[in-house]
Amino acid sequence: MKSETKLFENGKRLDGRMPDELRKIKIKAGVLHRAEGSCYLEWGGNKVMVAVYGPREAIPRHTQNPLRAIVTARYNMAAFSVDDRKRPGPDRRSREISKVISEALENVILVEKFPRATIDVNIEVLDAEAGTRCAGLTAAAVALVDAGIPMKDIPVACAAGKIEDQIVLDLGKDEDNYGSADLPIAISPRTGNILLLQMDGHLTQEEFDKAFDLALKGCYIISDLQKQAILEKYQTKIGVE
Amino acid sequence: MTIIPAIKKDYLINLAKNGKREDGRGFDDFRNIEIETGVVSKAEGSARVKIGNTQVLSGIKMDIGEPYPDTPETGVMTTAAELIPLASPDFEAGPPREDAIELARVVDRGIRESQLIEVEKLCIEPEEKVWMVFIDIHILDYDGNLFDAASLASLAALMTTNVPAKRFELGDDYPLPIKEPPISCTSVKFDNVVVMDPSLDEEEIAEVRLTVATDKNEDIRAMQKGLNGSFTRDEIKKVIKASIDNGKKIREQLYKSIGK
């Protein structure tokens, strides 16, 4: 934590946002030709593309579950998505993120319908600027809907954090680097169930509650954007005005 | 060959006998090409190219490193291609396979052998420090003809690259020194018909493939034959001619898209 970097000016954040303001989010469903379902999402400086393949036979065989499908999310960062070129291929960080996203998605997908199958969710981070796991999960949910995978709900993710003793929504790049806490969550908006929860940094109980409420608020805003993106692709097809 | 191409094979061959292609193109026509540059802000240069439904993203990163001992005063370039599972149900995660390596090497050769990047201008301190140029190719959507899409995306990305001198405290950023780009065009042959810019279905039934890169003066700068079939001398002549004609149009579009 560098104290000389000022993260607030006149009550506003470095990028001019208010403490409870999200970065700009743009979601588009169905952008890829080969994929069963796909989504392109821009969230501030993040650019994420997701493709869903399946349900299809899980290979190798020993990964199959005779009672239900497995959900295999693969979070991958492009070599050119960060300041210093990232060596291609999975590292410990992306493996962990892949795992928590897989688990979050598995919760809402009706996996019992597809025994022995896998549903592959490929998340490619093309441009990165803090909060890629939330962006990835949010885009993955839209791609799953686009693929027609039966789900109980459309999951959504958002983070809150703490910078200079203040709780803020959706940390930006410098805020993530110099802030003192980051709390990404994913929820099922229909039930409010928590599907993903991670935290690093330092928060008092009171601050945690505040940050959690704020992240929750962000989730519901983004959830509306997800639904809009899906409607945009399908409303003409199903004749809804 | 998977089931669908096997069924489609007769259909495509019958169409070709009547001088037609599945998507209505002539034998020597490319699909619609879109070029978009500056799509990744963290990259020093980037471009997304669409050829029909095929979509490729190429990003350039630059760093400072040591030169090779035998070329102490020239910059270093490397090309890597990732056939990520996002792009096709048949691509798997993991280390690059044969086809990804071939793709990267063909693109690399096109850029290296045509001396597109003026590497001798990328020396900072002889034997100590030179600029390294990393070309990373991401396939986003695979519907045939990756060679041309990947090389076109890499050209557009390189031509819009800014050397990040400021980040390394070496003065102001400046455009990457670049020469005239060669344009690569790929054809395939099946059942004695040669078609330009194969779609995925055509690629899957192809017996032989030829990539020809040509420059502004209509000279040939690189060629690569692939697969186990063969061409006649006459066919190769025709492919070269068609590659020059298409190359000219693509070059114009490339310059237009980068605003030159």
Q: Does B3 touch chain A (CB under 8 A)?
A: no
In a domain, A6, yes or no: no
Instruction: Please report the pLDDT score of residue A86 as a whole number.
Output: 92
Residue pairs spanning A and B at CB distance below 8 A: 94
Chain B residue numbers with beta carbons less than 8 Å from the beta carbon of A130 are none
pLDDT digit string, tens, across residues A131-172: 999 999 999 999 999 999 999 999 999 999 999 889 999 999
Instruction: Please report the pLDDT score of residue A3 as a whole number.
Output: 47
Instruction: Please report the pLDDT score of residue B128 as a whole number.
Output: 92
**For residues A231 and B105, which has the higher predicted lDDT (pLDDT)?**
A231
ipTM > 0.95 for the complex: no
Instruction: Please report the pLDDT score of residue A1 as a whole number.
Output: 42
Given a cut of 90, whether residue A20 has pLDDT beyond it is yes
Rounded CA Rg of chain A: 18
CA B16 to CA B110: how far, in whole Å?
Answer: 31
**For residues B259 and A19, which has the higher predicted lDDT (pLDDT)?**
A19
Q: Is the dihedral of CA A92, A95, A96, A97 positive or negative?
A: positive
Q: Please, which pLDDT band fits residue A4 given cuts at 50, 70 and 90?
A: low
Q: Which domains does chain B have, with CATH numbers?
A: 10-257 (3.30.230.70)
Instruction: Please report the pLDDT score of residue A6 as a whole number.
Output: 78
The residue type at A34: R
CA A25 to CA B136: how far, in whole Å?
Answer: 26
Between A56, A80, A90, which is nearest B40 by CB?
Answer: A80
- B39 with A84: Cβ contact below 8 A: no
In a domain, A163, yes or no: yes
Can you name the residues that pair with B226 across neighbouring β-strands?
B209
In a domain, A12, yes or no: no
CATH of the domain at A144: 3.30.230.70
Q: Does A48 touch chain B (CB under 8 A)?
A: no
CA A215 to CA B58: how far, in whole Å?
Answer: 34
Q: pTM score > 0.90 for this model?
A: no
Given a cut of 90, whether residue A112 has pLDDT beyond it is yes
In a domain, A8, yes or no: no
In a domain, A11, yes or no: no
Instruction: Please report the pLDDT score of residue B228 as a whole number.
Output: 81
In a domain, A7, yes or no: no
Q: Name which of A65-69, A208-212, B171-175, B225-229 the model is least confident about.
A: B225-229
* Total structural domains within chain A: 1
Instruction: Please report the pLDDT score of residue A179 as a whole number.
Output: 86
pLDDT digit string, tens, across residues A174-200: 898 888 889 999 999 999 999 999 888
In a domain, A192, yes or no: yes
Given a cut of 80, whether residue A82 has pLDDT beyond it is yes
Given a cut of 70, whether residue A225 has pLDDT beyond it is yes
Domain that holds residue A180: 17-238
Q: How many CB atoms lie within 10 A of CB B228?
A: 6
The mean of the pLDDT values for chain A is: 92
In a domain, A26, yes or no: yes
For residue A29, the Cα-to-chain-centroid distance in whole angstroms is 15
> Percentage of residues in chain A with pLDDT exceeding 70?
96
Portion 159-218 of A in contact with B at CB < 8 A: none
pLDDT digit string, tens, across residues A21-61: 999 999 999 999 999 999 999 999 999 999 999 899 998 89
Low-confidence ranges of chain B (pLDDT < 50): none
- A122 with B140: Cβ contact below 8 A: no
